[in-house]
């Protein structure tokens, strides 16, 4: 059975599978070649170097994140984008350190960034406030995913089981114990449920600032 021909897209997708299995440090021309069942040298017809492969991986991630549409309600578009970015980065946590670090952004990355800014600018955000909004939304989303994927739970361990293990440590920390008793214990708590609450706080602040700037201009 013949293999499908190599393409840039197939090489990048294979690199994504390698990164999912072995982390970003496991990605090399040789490991990606093995994933595709070809010699590493054959990849150079489609990606110029490992750096170009990493650029492609970053762009591959951006291509999976929902792109906001100018002219639609900005808050709903930013919510959709944040949830989409969370899903993509939680599925590929190696991307957290990669997605904004590349010096040669690809077409999906550039289109994505331009669309976020375009959605905000069309909604009346100033250039400065659109930049601030972009920054704080990404900082919140990426930071939340970083915390979420590194929570110290054992496989299959419930929140209640984890709390039972640290109950003694809470005795001398009344505010922490109060929060755990009121918000976590016996409530089928999942840290992931916090995402919407925090996102709403960020968006509320941006909405208030945006509305104030609009009023000041009229």
What is the separation, in whole angstroms, between the first and last Cα of the chain?
A: 68
d(CA 178, CA 93): 32
Compare 93 and 186 and report the one with higher pLDDT.
93
For position 190, what pLDDT does the model report?
86
Rg of the Cα atoms in the chain: 22
Average pLDDT, the chain: 94
pLDDT exceeds cutoff 80 at 2: no
Nearest-5° Cα angle at 190, 18 to 62 = 35
Binning pLDDT at 50, 70 and 90, where does residue 121 land? very high
Q: Per-residue pLDDT tens for 139-152?
A: 999 999 999 999 88
Write the Ramachandran bin of 120: left for phi over 0, alpha for psi from -120 to 50, otherwise beta: alpha
By residue count, the chain amounts to 218
Domains in the chain with CATH codes: 8-47 (1.10.10.60), 60-150+188-217 (1.10.357.10)
Binning pLDDT at 50, 70 and 90, where does residue 173 land? very high
Report if pTM > 0.95. Answer: no
Q: Over range 126-150, report the average pLDDT.
A: 97
Q: Per-residue pLDDT tens for 21-73?
A: 999 999 999 999 999 999 999 999 999 999 999 999 999 999 999 999 999 99
d(CA 109, CA 104): 10
For position 1, what pLDDT does the model report?
56
Q: Per-residue pLDDT tens for 179-210?
A: 988 988 888 888 899 999 999 999 999 999 99
Lowest mean pLDDT across 60-64, 95-99, 126-130: 95-99
């Amino acid at each position: 059975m013949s293999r499908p021909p190599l393409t840039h897209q197939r090489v990048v997708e294979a690199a994504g599978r390698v990164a999912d299995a072995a982390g970003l440090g496991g990605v090399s021309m040789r490991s990606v070649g093995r994933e595709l069942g070809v010699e590493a040298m054959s990849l150079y017809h489609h990606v110029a170097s490992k750096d170009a492969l990493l650029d492609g991986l970053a762009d591959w991630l951006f291509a999976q994140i929902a792109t906001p549409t100018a002219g639609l309600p900005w808050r709903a578009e930013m919510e959709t984008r944040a949830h989409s970015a969370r899903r993509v980065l939680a599925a590929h946590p190696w991307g957290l350190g990669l997605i904004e670090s590349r010096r040669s952004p690809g077409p999906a990355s550039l289109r994505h960034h331009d669309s976020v800014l375009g959605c905000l600018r069309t909604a009346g955000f100033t250039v400065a406030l659109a930049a601030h909004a972009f920054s704080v939304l990404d900082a919140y989303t990426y930071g939340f995913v970083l915390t979420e994927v590194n929570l110290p739970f054992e496989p299959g361990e419930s929140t209640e089981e984890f709390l039972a293990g640290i109950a003694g440590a809470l005795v001398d920390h009344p505010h922490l114990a109060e929060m755990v008793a009121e918000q976590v214990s016996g409530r089928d708590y999942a840290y992931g449920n916090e995402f919407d609450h925090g996102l709403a706080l960020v968006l509320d602040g941006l909405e208030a600032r945006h509305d104030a700037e609009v009023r000041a201009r009229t």
